[in-house]
Structure 1
Amino acid sequence: MERLQKILAQAGVASRRKCEELIQAGSVEVNGVVVTELGTKADPDQDIITVKGRPIKTEKKIYLMMNKPKGVITSASDPEGRKIVSDYLKGVKERVYPVGRLDYDTEGLLLLTNDGEFANLLTHPKHHVPKTYVATVKGVPHGTELDKLKKGIVLEDGITAPAEVEYKDVDPDGKESVIQITIYEGRNRQVRRMFEAISHPVIRLKRIAFGDLLLQNLKRGLTRPLTKDEINRLIQLAKSDNTKKKRTGRGS
């Protein structure tokens, strides 16, 4: 169930404020009954909603996982003419948008949807949904340096929440190493800034998990729909209290 003005706005009837005016003017009916009270809730999948006698068209909810390539922008357009994620969604008729962001130089798991409530649930700071990355960094950080990331490290916008960090591989000549890191926040370029703070800049960065959803073998540039079980698990994770222990601070 959602607020009627929100349903109308999502269906493209008008802006949220204009939809509120339509409701107050008596132009909206739900199952044949005129509704004038703001905040009235309805189910767009079950109820017949009309505006001035015409039924609204509601979009089918879409939930996608994408393996975003490096060098792709997670926005609707780019003034510099660079590739954007929608360039890879040729078979998707509905308009979808990213759940959070991956910066231009970061690749890996990106969620896309047209469900604003779902997107907000997963990205709202109070929910602290974990996101896991594999970072190739310059040099080999000492254990004491990684401990700083595990406990929380001071950045220009405050101390980070504790992260989970582990070595995955080390180059024999010590020029670079591969480290897996799980964070519980969503600050801009956070993982890169965390490693810069311990003087081991990121060379390559890939997100491999969002909550318990894994990228696995999805090929670069391709998308696949989430299953109902995956959607429900993400929702339950965001609503659960299992990350409260990480909330001592405020993803890529």
Structure 2
Amino acid sequence: MASMATSSPISFAASFFKIKAFPLSPRFFPIRTLRCSVSSSSEPLEFDISFAPPKPKPASTRGGVSPQQLFIPWIVRGDDGTLKLQSQPPARLIHSLAIDATTQNPKKKEKSKKKQTQATSSSATASSSASASSPPPQSVPKLSKAARRFYNENFKEPPQRLSKVLAAAGVASRRTSEELIFDGKVTVNGILCNTPQTRVDPSRDIIYVNGNRIPKKLPPKVYFALNKPKGYICSSGEKEVKSVISLFDEYMASWDKRNPGTPKPRLFTVGRLDVATTGLIIVTNDGDFAQQLSHPSSSLPKEYITTVVGDIHKRHLMAISEGTIVEGVHCVPDLVELMPKQHDIPRARLRIVVHEGRNHEVRELVKNAGLVVHSLKRVRIGGFRLPSDLGLGKHAELKQSELKVLGWKR
């Protein structure tokens, strides 16, 4: 409580605030109660101005008259220029607020009205459908521009080279697809295309090869680990020798039952193993994946188990460790180790790890040391090892965790 006495409450308020009109509140005024008294000829008149609901007070003993209480007072300058206190806001302020409320943001009000009408119409249709005991139709949500942009940047594949699209569609290998394009057997949107580097989108562009249209939906990417048996080659050029892709004939025959309406993938091997070498080889239809794994910059270690004829001595191990020239490049193995003998395997075995992956590299290393290879088997690529329960000629689909172990980065 703070008490202040002046000659006039109006002059006191004018000297204290010095404004025309200002609504007071507890956050603007530092005190909660202000008592002003005015001395007149008859008896003083007191104003008890409170900024919060006052506590019950006893009646004043001065003249037996209770003080007048004004809650949240307004100090307004009248038409005559004098200031006065009143408990209600001025009429001019109320009138201006009403005008602002009617003229502010008319578009938002229109949108809110439209939403209300739509909500009422949808509720009406829902009630009518419920009365007819039939479920309401489900409307497809419309995605925003930001959502569509995020999908296109992160999930939708960008336009690709024409030769790559033809290879992914299963027409032929990428090299053969380029030959088809050069021969004038491919059209894009009704126009003959002779450039394999042309960027196309199979979901939008109309592509024909030899009069047959390429489907809009490309086959999904598949990845397999195959235990290659002896006598199979990794290419399909020679008809006299079986290809490792023929080991997937049963899988491809049941493709339509497992994936109805989806085109069949065109499988090929990642890298090669010669016809006499067995063991792990990756089979896929993803060209980018194959390029990354087989490129020399990946430097993926490849582990082989070599069975040799005769005994192995220290000089043989030293000669293999020093390396040899393969395809004009001096290749040095990462590891050479003599494996312990087993009762069921009478011949000596070597564990050799290389990262170059050149043609016949392990065989050349063993041959340069003066040894004869009896059998050769690849058991590991990168961090992925051939499963022990995967029989010869059998394949297993790779999981995402196994692809990461191989070093695949999408």
What TM bracket, shorter-length normalisation?
A: 0.7 to 0.9
Larger Rg: 2
- Matched AA of 1:4: Q
The answer to whether the aligner puts 1:8 opposite 2:165 as a matched pair is: yes
Provide the identity percentage. Answer: 32
CA–CA separation in structure 2 for the residues paired with 1:99 and 1:229? 18
- Matched AA of 1:88: L
CA–CA separation in structure 1 for the residues paired with 2:170 and 2:229? 31
- TM-score, reference length from structure 1: 0.74
1:69 corresponds in structure 2 to 229
Range 149-158 or range 193-202, more displaced:
149-158
Q: 4+ residue runs of structure 1 moved beyond 3 angstroms? A: 12-23, 38-42
Asked whether the 8 Å contact 2:382–2:407 carries over to 1, the reply is: no
CA–CA separation in structure 1 for the residues paired with 2:406 and 2:272? 17
RMSD: 3.3
Q: How does 1:1-252 map to 2 (within 5 A)?
A: 1=157, 3-6=159-162, 8-9=165-166, 10-11=168-169, 15=177, 22=188, 48-51=203-206, 56-80=216-240, 82-89=241-248, 90-92=250-252, 93-155=264-326, 157-170=328-341, 176-217=347-388, 218-236=390-408
Q: For each residue in 1:142-170, what CA deviation from the matched residue of structure 2 results, as whole angstroms up to 9, or x when unmatched?
A: 23432333343234633103321111134
Asked whether the 8 Å contact 2:326–2:358 carries over to 1, the reply is: no
- TM-score, reference length from structure 2: 0.47
Q: Unaligned stretches of 5+ in structure 2?
A: 1-156, 208-212, 253-263
Q: Unaligned stretches of 5+ in structure 1?
A: 28-37, 240-252
SS at match of 1:204: strand
- Matched AA of 1:22: V
CA–CA separation in structure 1 for the residues paired with 2:303 and 2:404? 19
Asked whether the 8 Å contact 1:68–1:110 carries over to 2, the reply is: yes
Q: For each residue in 1:57-98, what CA deviation from the matched residue of structure 2 results, as whole angstroms up to 9, or x when unmatched?
A: 301111011101111122225332x32212211213532011
CA–CA separation in structure 2 for the residues paired with 1:195 and 1:84? 27
2:61 corresponds in structure 1 to none
CA–CA separation in structure 2 for the residues paired with 1:97 and 1:210? 17
Counterparts in 2 of 1:199 and 1:26: CA distance versus 1, 3 Å: closer
Q: Which has the higher contact order (CA 8 A, sep 6+)?
A: 1
- Matched AA of 1:69: P
